[in-house]
């Protein structure tokens, strides 16, 4: 029995030392537990610096983004139109027009109505499109994307945008962000502790679509601007800003619409100093195996021609291909600052957004408001805890003091567990801590009243303590499990603030079960076990 007593003492000491280590880690352990500087930038205050604080406690930005899903459908329909033209021409069928009309329709105009039946055979290879109208005599067919396929593509676009934004925010270095879908095409983003909201918004909203296209060197810029532009080409611009005058100049390029390669095949992107422009930075990129093969074929087949590197519809550069490039490496140059280059690397690594996004709602929470929330919330917890401490001490005397010590250990374990699991503490979470205090005290009261009942029946102190803890144990476990199930339901179906409440409540209840049953029982055993001369119980 003595051996088990020392084992229980060891468990309690490990819990106390471990909790203090997670709350206030020494410099040598700090980086190992939380990473370099993670969650430790906040100084002072009533809470340990290792706790991640939510938007309502440390300030930050709240954004609701709308995903332009129609752009996804337009891009898909345009690609389908190009593929359809290619399939028809491979079959020897002349095509006067194959282009997108509106958002979800493709107009096909055959060069000769005599090839009508052969064209219909090719159209069967595109099952996602229905024939909305046909005119055999004119050789004209109108296709429409099926509504079920369109709904699938809209949903997929929002999910891809959600994942892409999450990857960007993770690389940006925000601790415990909230990123979740709202409705059909909206995304909720909460970034606590952001010091530069404009940069964060620019990083999140940048489409970052990297494309490689050949220039149309047969069509002059003058003809293109005058409207004499082939259907397969378009006019894009390169923006250049004079460093001294800050005047922006747009240089037009005639570019083929067909995309040869995109950033989806990127394997690596990193920031480098621009050797040709001191003070500027560039982004070096490297393609994966598939991208390297395609890039090698592009450069081999187009030696002597100009290749446009396009980012978000703007021509970044248009270098001439002097020879085949087998290594799959390229450089994106421009008048980049170090921060611009770093942000571009982040969005290229995270991937391009499948569709443009726009900010529908924006709110900023200042750090001073967060500090006031912390102060008021902690004062409420401290005031309620003091009232409970005094009541327990007066009503239960020495046993009440034991319960007070157990309650303090409960709070320490709760905060340390949240810090260790990198959980976010929100204002509702502080409310959960306050509720945990009440639950922990209620557990001790239940045990103490059981011990009192057993002691009044004439049992010895040792027998009364054993019977009190034994008979109260089942009730204590039942109440704690019930609250844990409720917290799990709140976490699973609730939104951000509700989840914060559920997290702190669940951790607090688990800590309460440990302190009220295991720790309190240990203290009673140390005080009363084996002491036969003690005839009174301070309870």
Q: Assign 26 to helix, strand or coil.
A: coil
Query: For 146-166, what is each residue's pLDDT tens digit?
Result: 999 999 888 888 888 888 888
Strand 186-192 to 281-287 pairing: unpaired
- pLDDT class of 367 with cuts at 50, 70, 90: low
Average of pLDDT values for 172-191? 81
Average of pLDDT values for 491-496? 74
- Residue 308's beta-bridge partner residues? 213
Distances (CA, A) of 507 to 139, 318, 481: 70, 58, 12
Average of pLDDT values for 75-102? 88
DSSP state of 423: P
Phi and psi of 334, rounded to 5°? 165, 180
So what's the pLDDT on residue 236? 94
Average of pLDDT values for 445-459? 85
**DSSP readout, 150-186?**
HHHHHHHHHHHHHHHHHHHHHHHT-SS-EEEEETTTE
Alpha carbon distance 25, 15 (integer Å): 14
Query: For 280-309, what is each residue's pLDDT tens digit?
Result: 888 888 888 888 998 999 999 999 999 998
Place of tokens 């010590």: 405
Handedness of CA 380, 381, 386, 387 (dihedral sign): positive
Percent pLDDT > 70 in the chain is 90
So what's the pLDDT on residue 499? 77
Share of the chain residues as helix, strand and coil, in percent rounded to the nearest 5: 55, 20, 25
pLDDT at 105 over 90: yes
Mean pLDDT of the chain: 82
So what's the pLDDT on residue 38? 47
Domains within the chain, CATH numbers bracketed = 2-59+366-528 (1.20.1640.10), 70-147 (3.30.1360), 209-338 (3.30.1360.200)
> Comparing 184-188, 263-267, 322-326, 529-533, which segment has the lowest mean pLDDT?
529-533
Alpha carbon distance 338, 274 (integer Å): 11
So what's the pLDDT on residue 368? 55
Alpha carbon distance 336, 344 (integer Å): 9
**143 burial level (CB within 10 Å; 0-12, 13-18, 19+):** buried
Q: When comparing pLDDT for 332 and 488, which is higher?
A: 488
Per DSSP, helices labelled H in 326-426 are 338-350, 367-420
- pLDDT class of 30 with cuts at 50, 70, 90: low
Query: For 123-154, what is each residue's pLDDT tens digit?
Result: 888 989 999 888 998 999 999 999 999 998 88
> Comparing 17-26, 178-187, 236-245, 524-533, which segment has the lowest mean pLDDT?
524-533
CB 281 within 8 A of CB 272: yes
Long-range contacts of residues 519-522, Cβ cutoff 8 Å, at least 24 apart: 519/12, 519/406, 519/409, 520/402, 520/403, 520/406, 520/444, 520/447, 521/465, 521/469, 522/5, 522/8, 522/9, 522/12
So what's the pLDDT on residue 41? 47
Strand 52-53 to 424-425 pairing: parallel
Count of positions (residues) in the chain: 539
Average of pLDDT values for 215-235? 90
């Amino acid at each position: 029995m003595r051996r088990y007593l020392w084992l229980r003492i060891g468990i309690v000491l490990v819990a106390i030392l471990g909790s203090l280590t997670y709350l206030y880690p020494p410099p040598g352990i700090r980086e190992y537990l939380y990473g370099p500087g993670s969650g430790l930038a906040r100084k002072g205050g009533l809470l340990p610096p290792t706790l991640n604080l939510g938007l309502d406690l440390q300030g930050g930005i709240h954004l609701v983004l709308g995903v332009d899903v129609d752009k996804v459908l337009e891009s898909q329909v345009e690609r389908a139109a190009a593929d359809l033209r290619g399939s028809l021409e491979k079959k020897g069928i002349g095509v006067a027009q194959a282009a997108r009309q509106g958002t979800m329709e493709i107009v096909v105009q055959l060069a000769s109505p005599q090839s009508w039946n052969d064209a219909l055979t090719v159209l069967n290879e595109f099952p996602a499109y229905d024939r909305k109208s046909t005119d055999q005599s004119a050789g004209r067919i109108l296709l429409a994307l099926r509504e079920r396929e369109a709904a699938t593509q809209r949903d997929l676009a929002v999910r891809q945008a959600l994942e892409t934004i999450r990857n960007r925010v993770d690389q940006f270095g925000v601790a415990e962000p909230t990123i979740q879908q709202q409705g059909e095409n909206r995304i909720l983003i909460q970034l606590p502790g952001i010091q530069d909201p404009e940069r964060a918004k620019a990083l999140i909203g940048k489409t970052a679509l990297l494309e490689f296209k050949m220039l149309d060197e047969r069509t002059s810029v003058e003809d293109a601007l005058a409207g004499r532009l082939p259907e397969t080409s378009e006019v894009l611009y390169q923006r250049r800003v004079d460093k001294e005058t800050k005047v922006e100049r747009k240089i037009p390029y005639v570019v083929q619409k067909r995309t040869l390669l995109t950033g989806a095949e990127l394997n690596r992107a990193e920031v480098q100093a621009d050797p040709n422009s001191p003070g500027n930075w560039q982004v070096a990129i490297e393609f994966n195996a598939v991208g390297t093969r395609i890039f090698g074929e592009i450069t081999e087949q187009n030696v002597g021609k100009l290749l446009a590197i396009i980012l978000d519809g703007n021509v970044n550069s248009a270098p001439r291909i002097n020879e085949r490039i087998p290594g799959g490496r390229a450089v994106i140059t421009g008048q980049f600052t170090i921060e611009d280059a770093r942000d571009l690397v982040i969005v290229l690594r995270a991937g391009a957004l499948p569709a443009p996004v726009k900010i529908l709602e924006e709110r900023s929470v200042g750090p001073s408001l967060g500090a006031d929330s912390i102060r008021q919330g902690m004062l409420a917890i401290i005031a309620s805890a003091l009232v409970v401490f005094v009541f327990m001490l007066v009503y239960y005397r020495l046993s009440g003091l034991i319960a007070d010590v157990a309650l303090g250990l409960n709070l320490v374990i709760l905060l340390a567990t949240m810090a260790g699991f990198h959980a976010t503490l929100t204002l509702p979470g502080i409310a959960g801590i306050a509720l945990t205090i009440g639950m922990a005290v209620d557990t001790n009261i239940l045990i103490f009243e059981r011990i009192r009942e057993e002691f009044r029946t004439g049992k010895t102190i040792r027998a009364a303590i054993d019977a009190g803890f034994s008979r109260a144990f089942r009730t204590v476990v039942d109440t704690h499990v019930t609250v844990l199930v409720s917290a799990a339901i709140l976490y699973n179906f609730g939104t951000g603030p509700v989840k914060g409440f559920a997290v702190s409540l669940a951790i607090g209840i688990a800590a309460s079960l440990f302190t009220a049953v295991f720790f309190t029982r240990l203290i009673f055993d140390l005080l009363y076990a084996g002491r036969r001369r003690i005839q009174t119980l301070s309870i």
